[in-house]
Amino acid sequence: MIYSSLINPYFAMRRRAIVGAPQFSRPIVFAKLPRAPRNGSPVPHLTSLYHNADAGKYGDRSYPGNCGGNLIKDLLLFFRPRLVLDPMTGSGTCRDVCRELGVPCRTGDIHQGFDASSSDAMRSLAGADAVDFVWAHPPYWRQKLYAADERDLSRTQTLDAFLDRYAAFIQAAAGVLAQGGRLAILMGDYSDREAGFVPLVYHTKRLAFEAGLRQCCTDIIRFSHGASSGRKVYRSAFIPGLHDVCMIFERSSL
Ligand SMILES: C[S@@+](CC[C@H](N)C(=O)[O-])C[C@H]1O[C@@H](n2cnc3c(N)ncnc32)[C@H](O)[C@@H]1O
């Protein structure tokens, strides 16, 4: 025991945690990532495991549900769209990334009265132009509440009501995409005591396929660096989810 403490203090702590009282502070763990194959990608560090802890200077980190901008930046550098829509823009993270890259971007949010689940609203955001990229970071159902507007997806009272409005959004987004255009959705699974575990990543794919889209590349598992839940303490036992998932769908035929 003395030797294992000297050689690897984290290993010694792990053993104590199993037999002793619950441990509420843990050391940072460094995981070895698999090596990615070399290929012609203009963004070689963009793989199925997205672990960039730096959010970048985009949007407002204090906005509830804010996501870092670097994943969006890497996707835009990879797909090179000519026009981006962000219909659930929140603090404008995607807009800021687009501004830096010089890519035209149109945004809306329920806070400004824009309802992304309405196909009319999505068509007017797109205008007459061919949209080749939609970035969407919707609410993870009611994990965080956003606007005091009943059309806000986070305000839906039941899972069925959420999925109905989410399906309407995905269909509306698919409807404005040009042939070959892409819809990138960042979504996380959700759970609470009443609903149990809700696999929102699965539902996202199901609804996108029903809207006639096909997934065009690997899931991108985004490590949830900086999530507020990481600092909380729970008495119950569960397997913590430390990621959300970015899925990219393509409109391949009309
Ligand atoms: C997860 S947050 C997006 C945060 C954003 N990515 C950022 O970095 O700041 C989800 C956003 O969806 C918006 N929203 C919810 N329902 C909506 C709807 N029906 N139409 C448009 N926006 C909606 C919320 O107001 C919130 O700003």
Rounded Cα–Cα distance for residues 96 and 74 (Å)? 13
- Residue position matching structure tokens 């609410």: 139
Rounded Cα–Cα distance for residues 14 and 26 (Å)? 9
Task: Report pLDDT for 2.
Answer: 36
Task: Report pLDDT for 225.
Answer: 87
Rounded Cα–Cα distance for residues 31 and 44 (Å)? 19
Residue nearest ligand 1's atom 15 by CA: 152
- The stretches in the chain having pLDDT less than 70 are 1-25, 253-254
Query: In angstroms, what is the span from residue 224 Cα to ligand 1's centroid?
Result: 18
Task: Report pLDDT for 27.
Answer: 77
In a domain, 138, yes or no: yes
In a domain, 17, yes or no: yes
Range(s) of the domain holding residue 60 = 45-250
Q: What is the chain's Cα-based Rg?
A: 20
* Same domain as 184, residue 101: yes
Contact 115 CB / ligand 1 (< 6 Å)? yes
* Same domain as 225, residue 140: yes
Domain with 74 in it: what CATH number? 3.40.50.150
* Same domain as 53, residue 15: no
Q: Do the strands 190-192 and 177-187 form a parallel or antiparallel pair, or are they unpaired? A: unpaired
The ligand 1 atom at the shortest distance from the C-alpha of residue 111 is 25
Query: In angstroms, what is the span from residue 109 Cα to ligand 1's centroid?
Result: 6
Pick the closest to residue 138 from 91, 99, 104, 90 (CA basis). 90
* Same domain as 144, residue 220: yes
Task: Report pLDDT for 6.
Answer: 37
- The count of structural domains within the chain is 2
* Same domain as 74, residue 12: no
Rounded Cα–Cα distance for residues 170 and 163 (Å)? 10
Task: Report pLDDT for 9.
Answer: 35
Rounded Cα–Cα distance for residues 56 and 69 (Å)? 6
* Same domain as 210, residue 97: yes
* Same domain as 57, residue 2: no
pTM metric for this prediction: 0.90
Instruction: For a ligand 1 pocket test, name from 94, 110, 169 the mutation site with the most ligand atoms within 8 angstroms of its C-beta.
Output: 110
Task: Report pLDDT for 227.
Answer: 78
In a domain, 119, yes or no: yes
Q: Are 204 and 247 in contact (CB under 8 A)?
A: yes
Residue nearest ligand 1's atom 2 by CA: 65
**113, exposed or middle or buried, with CB in 10 Å at 0-12, 13-18, 19+?**
exposed
In a domain, 10, yes or no: yes
In a domain, 39, yes or no: no
What are the tokens at 230? 């990481």
Task: Report pLDDT for 106.
Answer: 98
Cα separations in angstroms, 214 against 168, 191, 207, 218, 236: 17, 27, 11, 12, 39
Task: Report pLDDT for 39.
Answer: 96
Task: Report pLDDT for 3.
Answer: 36
The ligand 1 atom at the shortest distance from the C-alpha of residue 63 is 9
Task: Report pLDDT for 145.
Answer: 96
* Same domain as 53, residue 27: no
In a domain, 40, yes or no: no
